[in-house]
Structure 1
Amino acid sequence: MNTTNIDKQNSHLDLSDPEVKAIFELYQDYAEVPYISPERDLEGWLTAASIGSEKLVPKRNMIRYEEDLLPGHLILLWRINFGTFTNTSGYPKYFEYDYGINGAQALDEIQEKGYANELSASDSLPYLNAAQLKAILKQFELTGYSKLKKPELMKLATEHLTDEQLAPHFKIRGYKITPAGEELLLKYPEPVDRHPKKKY
């Protein structure tokens, strides 16, 4: 059984489970077994794979770079670079089924390695709409904002309120790729080049 790097993504799996064993056998000649979500219907997936309606993660997507990251981590960085990814964004199915990674875990890993950062409350204001911004300003008893548009509301908030004051009033936070993350995308362009493109 291929248990290489099992501690990195699949430590939650019961290796004595026949269905888990069957999946691991399918990936026996891979560098490591792709991430298998606890929510995955193992029996259903195995059946679908056996008739060809569910494909295996491509072998190349399970080879780690020297930075101890998989191609899927690069796709997540690329996705963050659009400026629309937040802590409320969902993780498309392809992260698990095409790239073999746990999206939420991958986000933690690229932050720990310094390739992306969570934005502060002040820098996450663009993810709020005008009504939400006005509600925050009202709580702090600021005035003169009723006819302001979103850019002016954000300016008023940052001019009069600190990040510490803003933080408790909304949970959404954006993410930003770091210069090190940009360099990583340039170093390994292949995953993004191969990935199906659409506007985000």
Structure 2
Amino acid sequence: MSAHKRIEEMYRDHEVKPYISPERDLESWLLEAKPVPKRNMVRLEEGLLPGDIILLWRINFGTFETTTPYSKYFEYMYGINGPAHMEQLLADGYAYMESAFDSLDHITSTAKKNILKAEGVAGLSKMKAADLDAALREHLTEDRLASYFSVRGYALTEKGRAALENHPEVIDKHPKKKM
């Protein structure tokens, strides 16, 4: 039986067929395949999949940004294409991309100092992170600041927070790191 037929058989009872990256080595994966659980491929009341809830949960930490790599578990455990689902969450109003000023917490103090130095601001050596942020707000516009760096954070909208709060069972089943 071909790899594609075996996968089709594996997922025949899933409401939504899991995403499989075209780069995945199907033959090797099928040797030890752990199928995406059926429960992760059932649409929730909002039309979202559990993987979407996990994306919202990750955004909620305030550390998910445009340069954050997508964990393989989005594909292998939740059956979604992380980047494509992020775009859909943004388009559907569950999350938004932060402005340059809102994304300042994603760049280093050195980068902030270099931006201010390029703008001709003096007295930077004694400035702490909060002082640097204030100086950036004082001396630059959003458009001007945006031209210096491309990383942007993601944040939840009220709709995204509501979807996350409506599905604690998804988060409860997700493996957590021990702190």
Structure 2 residue aligned with 1:40: 24
Structure 2 residue aligned with 1:57: 36
Kindly indicate whether structure 1 or structure 2 has the higher relative contact order, using CA contacts under 8 Å at least 6 residues apart: 2
- Secondary structure at the aligned position of 2:17 is classed as coil
Alpha carbons 1:32, 1:63 under 8 Å: kept = yes
What is the Cα deviation at residue 38 of structure 1? Answer: 1.3
1:28 aligns with 2:12: yes
Amino acid paired to 1:162: T
Equivalent of 1:89, from 68, 79, 91? 68
Amino acid paired to 1:29: D
Alpha carbons 1:72, 1:100 under 8 Å: kept = yes
Please give the residue correspondences for 1:1-200 in structure 2 after superposition, counting only pairs within 5 Å: 18-49=2-33, 55-198=34-177
Task: Write out the 4+ residue segments of structure 1 that deviate beyond 6 Å after TM superposition.
Answer: none
- Secondary structure at the aligned position of 2:46 is classed as coil
Change (3 A) 1:90 1:169: same
Q: Give me the TM-score of the superposition, normalised by structure 2.
A: 0.95
Q: Give me the TM-score of the superposition, normalised by structure 1.
A: 0.85
What is the Cα deviation at residue 190 of structure 1? Answer: 1.2
- Secondary structure at the aligned position of 1:100 is classed as coil
Structure 2 residue aligned with 1:13: none
Identity of aligned residues (%): 52
Q: Deviations over 1:43-95 (max 9, x none)?
A: 1111222xxxxx11110000112322100000000010000110111111111
What is the Cα deviation at residue 130 of structure 1? Answer: 1.0
What is the Cα deviation at residue 199 of structure 1? Answer: 7.3
What is the root-mean-square deviation in Å for CA atoms of aligned residues?
A: 1.6
Alpha carbons 1:85, 1:175 under 8 Å: kept = yes
Question: Aligned equivalents of 1:199 and 1:107: distance in 2?
Answer: 26
Structure 2: runs of 5 or more not aligned: none
What is the Cα deviation at residue 188 of structure 1? Answer: 1.8
What is the Cα deviation at residue 137 of structure 1? Answer: 0.7
Alpha carbons 1:126, 1:154 under 8 Å: kept = no
Amino acid paired to 1:108: E
- Secondary structure at the aligned position of 2:160 is classed as helix
Question: Aligned equivalents of 2:128 and 2:151: distance in 1?
Answer: 20
